[in-house]
Structure 1
Amino acid sequence: MKPDFDDFDDDTGSYDRGVNEQIGDSGVLLRRAIDIIATAPNMPLSSTPRIDRDEIIEILEEALHRLPDELRQARWMMKERDEFIARTRREADEVIEAAKVQAERFVQRAEVVRAAEQRARQIAEAADDDARRVKNEMEDFLDQRLASFEILLDKLVKTVATGRRRLSIGERQDEGSLSLNDEPIVESYSDDSGAIFFDQDNTSGR
């Protein structure tokens, strides 16, 4: 709860009023003596005031008699005032310190939140980087595999073409042997490159 320092000022003012009231009796007596002297009539044919000596002495003695008690009361009241002020200052300092601690806690919480948000951003950025890296690696892998398949298919196409050429040559040779029965049969063969070779040594029936 926030202390109301205006209330403290009002309370200390009440101490001042209490002190004034406690020492007021002597002041009243002294003021009464002064008034008697100030309003006393002068003696005939003289400027000397005519006063009742016994009355003045009695008033002053009574004021002097009351003064020590009033001074003690005043000192006690001043001590109470000082203790009250010190106590209220301690309470105010405690409230201020508690407010500082609370503010530090809020700051620490805010720092924790900021640190958590920063860490979350770092994790998200790292995840994005990993995703991009994995994607690039996968694309490279697929490109390499497709290139290998392309080479393999190209070899397969060439092999099929070679086989077809061999088959076509064999068919033509069969047709030639049917139309030229009295001619020597010449065997031929080809290598992997498709070149055709003839063997004239191997001939059969004429």
Structure 2
Amino acid sequence: MDVLKLLEELEEIVESGSSIPFAQKVLIDKEEVLEIIKEVRIHLPDEVKQAQWIKEERQRILVEAQQEADAIIQEANEHIAAMVEEDEITKIARKQAEEITIQAQVGAKEMRLGARDYADDLLLQVENTLKEVAETIHNNRSELKGMK
């Protein structure tokens, strides 16, 4: 018989006992009540032990669950940090790549302009030289014509 049933039985004995008029007191069978109390004492330690074990097991499960939750949160935070770091590294790499590309484009433009200016200078020199040669030829022809 479990403790709750024994307590219900004890309650029934008290409620069904003979009441003393004007006194809020009840006459009960002492032996019957003592026997129920004895059985409660016998059963109670087992149930208290079981309740204590359940409480301890519950606490252990809660601690394990909290530890597992903490580990999951830690792992998630580490993963997020790694993703952020990768994202930052990617951003830095893209920025550096853009800077290198811009520098290369500027360098190529400067080289094109420099090559064009150099070619223009060479052509100007050739043009001037050709003008001088043409003028010399013209002068020489004029001298030849004047010798007749």
Question: What range is the shorter-chain TM-score in?
Answer: 0.7 to 0.9
1:140 CA drift (Å):
1.3
1:53 CA displacement = 1.5
Larger Rg: 1
What is the CA distance between 1:85 and its match in structure 2? 0.6
Corresponding position of 1:94: 71
Pick closer, same or farther for the CA change 1:46–1:52 going to 2, 3 Å.
Answer: farther
d(CA) in 1 for partners of 2:22 and 2:109? 121
Structure 2: where are the runs of 5+ without partners?
Answer: none
Task: Work out the number of aligned pairs and report it.
Answer: 147
Superposition TM-score, scaled by structure 1 size: 0.63
Q: Summarize the alignment of residues 141-180 of structure 1 with structure 2, pairs less than 5 Å apart.
A: 141-171=118-148
Q: TM-score, normalised by structure 2?
A: 0.85
Q: Counterparts of 1:1-206 in structure 2 under 5 Å?
A: 25-42=2-19, 48-171=25-148
For 2:68, give the aligned amino acid: E
Question: 1:168–1:82: structure 2 CA closer, same or farther, 3 Å change rule?
Answer: same
Range 76-85 or range 98-107, more displaced: 98-107
Q: 1:46 to 1:168 in 2, by over 3 A?
A: closer
Dislocated runs of 4+, deviation >4 Å: 45-48
1-structure distance, mates of 2:93, 2:57 = 53
Q: Which structure 1 segments of 5+ residues have no match?
A: 1-23, 172-206
Could you list the per-position Cα deviations for residues 93-112 of structure 1 after superposition, in whole angstroms to 9, with x for gaps in the alignment? 11222222222222223223
Counterpart secondary structure, 1:138: helix
Question: Superposition RMSD on alpha carbons, in Å?
Answer: 2.2
**What is the letter of the counterpart of residue 11 of structure 2?**
I
